[in-house]
Amino acid sequence: MGTVEIGTIRTDVPARLDRLPWSRWHWMIVIGLGTVWILDGLEVTIVGNISAQIAKPGSGLDITQTQIAGTAAALYVAGACLGALFFGWLTDRFGRKRLFLITLVVYLVATALTAVSFAPWWFFACRFLTGFGIGGEYAAINSAIDELIPSDHRGRIDIIINGSYWLGAAGGALLTVPLLNEFPVHLGWRLAFGLGVVLGVAILLVRRHVPESPRWLFIHGRAREADELVAGIEAEIERERGMRLDPPKRTITIRQRRSIGFGRIAHTMVARYPRRTVLGFSLFVGQAFLYNAITFGYAQILSTFFRIDTYTGYFFAVICVGNFLGPLLLGPLFDTVGRKPMISGTYLASGVLLLGTAWLFGQGLLTAVTLTACWSVVLFFASAGASAAYLTVSEIFPMETRAMAIAFFYAIGTAVGGISGPLIFANLVETGDPGDTALAFTIGACVMIVAGLVEIALGVAAERRSLESIAAPLSAQD
């Protein structure tokens, strides 16, 4: 750890980071940090698609599909909410790097223990702990990514990285097909969790080389270390491109602190930025309700209405393609067209399209194939909007509160939408009445539409702006 020297300094580190051209170094950041969403997608999708298999006699667990899609899913999300708050506070206090290594280890251990589940209570506890690690990842990783990526690229990179969740989801969906069909009922689902551990270990090896955020360093009394780190990045990029970088055009004066109290963080979000707090809450509730409900419950829909049990992975993989293409194709527009029109547009479009899907399903006009096609179109837009929710709360609050802000909105929004969503969906689908499932779709559509309207009223034009100009650090001096 570098020497901590508390005082008032003038630094050009943020401007130096924002004016960097895209390079191999940035790709290392994307691969080392962004892959957490692949893990989350793999984890959630595996559980959703193997729920029918685990519930079968001889699986080694005396558990029902509704318990897996409802109770276990809700516990996973509850763990993620608490993990986000706990590790988010530690991330702002002790740094990004230390925490994004710890949270990944928590995920790995919990997933390995899930693979050897022998009773429902053990399975539920492991799902909670797995979510605890994943929730902590969200706060630590989003903070680090947005503080390391240049401002001209921040929107698209953040959205595409968050959208990479669906690469993991697609992989998990496809992997469940051979695992469920080629292996005994008691073994296939255990191997599925084991694959998550293997991927997590590979990511951990890459992540060791990702540096601490220079922005966090200079605020916490380690200005010399921040300058040396950025100088090394600049030298590497100049060698790669064979050019000299332009000098930075702005500086900022900072009164350094060792830590920021939780009371100051809460006051900042509620009293200093109340409109932004309402905005973050609305965006997170909308996407959390929709995504946690459909992610955990789609296999149950296919099983209940179309008698598809062991091949649900194929259908879910199609949905995943739409989900990933949305952020990939629409992501650049968040930096050019702008945050407000793109965020509000994606939320509203997905909500309206989902209302249409609900009507068609309630009328009995959809098959497993056409329902999957409808959801793919809905989620093409919803995925880009949901990814932008993380980008929004990471950008619009001061640097000292960034990880805690992400954790707060993720936890509160997900607690409202992410826990209630799977429980409502699971119980409505279980009735076997298409009208009940259509009602679940309609609820999801309405919360997305409301969030889109809030973005129109309260959204922040953050495109191509430095983080410090969007929300001045609490430590900044005139």
What is the per-residue pLDDT across 162-213, written as a single tens digit (0 to 9) for each? Answer: 888 888 777 777 777 777 677 777 777 788 778 777 877 877 777 777 788 8
Q: Given this model, what pLDDT does residue 258 score?
A: 64
423 falls within a domain: yes
According to DSSP, residue 258 is labeled S
- First-to-last alpha carbon distance for the chain, in angstroms, is 30
Whether the predicted pLDDT of 327 surpasses 70: yes
Candidates 48, 212, 33; CA nearest to 137 is 33
Could you read off the pLDDT of 328-381 as tens digits, one per residue?
Answer: 999 999 999 999 999 999 999 999 999 999 999 888 898 888 998 998 999 999
8 A C-beta contact, residue 288 and residue 421? yes
28 CB neighbour count, 10 Å cutoff: 15
**Mean pLDDT of the region 417-432:** 72
234 falls within a domain: no
- Between 429 and 253, the higher pLDDT residue: 253
296 CB neighbour count, 10 Å cutoff: 28
8 A C-beta contact, residue 394 and residue 158? yes
241-245, 410-414, 451-455: range with lowest mean pLDDT: 410-414
48 falls within a domain: yes
Q: What percent of the chain has pLDDT over 70?
A: 91
**Mean pLDDT of the region 395-420:** 80
Listing DSSP states for 177-243 in one string gives HHHHHHS-TTTHHHHHHHHHHHHHHHHHHHHTTPPPPHHHHHHTT-HHHHHHHHHHHHHHHHHHHTS
Q: Given this model, what pLDDT does residue 293 score?
A: 65
The total number of structural domains in the chain stands at 1
432 CB neighbour count, 10 Å cutoff: 10
Longest CA span, the chain: 68
471 falls within a domain: no
Q: Given this model, what pLDDT does residue 475 score?
A: 79
**Mean pLDDT of the region 90-107:** 81
Q: Given this model, what pLDDT does residue 48 score?
A: 63
CATH number at residue 19: 1.20.1250.20
Candidates 175, 205, 179; CA nearest to 42 is 175
2 falls within a domain: no
474 falls within a domain: no
Q: What are phi and psi for residue 403, nearest 5 degrees?
A: -65, -40
Per-residue tokens: 342:
């793109």
Per-residue tokens: 388:
């932008």
Average pLDDT, the chain: 83
Q: Given this model, what pLDDT does residue 192 score?
A: 77
Whether the predicted pLDDT of 1 surpasses 60: no
pLDDT range class, residue 118, cuts 50, 70, 90: confident
Q: Given this model, what pLDDT does residue 292 score?
A: 65
227 falls within a domain: no
Asked whether the whole model's pTM tops 0.75, one would answer yes
Q: Given this model, what pLDDT does residue 197 score?
A: 79
Whether the predicted pLDDT of 19 surpasses 70: yes
Out of 115-119, 130-134, 448-452, the most confident range is 448-452
pLDDT range class, residue 44, cuts 50, 70, 90: low
Candidates 169, 209, 213, 168; CA nearest to 27 is 209
**Mean pLDDT of the region 446-471:** 92
Alpha helices in 150-187 (DSSP H): 154-163, 165-182
Q: Given this model, what pLDDT does residue 312 score?
A: 67
Residue 476's DSSP bridge partners are: 254
Q: Given this model, what pLDDT does residue 404 score?
A: 81
184 falls within a domain: yes
Q: What percent of the chain has pLDDT over 90?
A: 23
Residue 252's DSSP bridge partners are: 11
Q: How far, in Å, CA of 350 to CA of 451, rounded?
A: 11
Q: How far, in Å, CA of 396 to CA of 387, rounded?
A: 15
Whether the predicted pLDDT of 109 surpasses 80: yes
**Mean pLDDT of the region 267-283:** 88
Per-residue tokens: 205:
């090896």
81-90, 256-265, 392-401: range with lowest mean pLDDT: 256-265
8 A C-beta contact, residue 335 and residue 464? yes
16-20, 38-42, 87-91, 219-223: range with lowest mean pLDDT: 38-42
**CA angle 43–49–50, rounded 5-degree value:** 90
Listing DSSP states for 79-132 in one string gives HHHHHHHHHHHHHHHH-HHHHHHHHHHHHHHHHHHHHT--SHHHHHHHHHHHHH
Q: Given this model, what pLDDT does residue 58 score?
A: 76
Q: How far, in Å, CA of 49 to CA of 35, rounded?
A: 21
Whether the predicted pLDDT of 458 surpasses 90: yes
Whether the predicted pLDDT of 478 surpasses 70: no
**Mean pLDDT of the region 228-246:** 91
8 A C-beta contact, residue 24 and residue 240? yes
**What domain range includes position 373?**
8-214+260-466
Can you tell me which residue has the tokens 């805690």?
Answer: 404
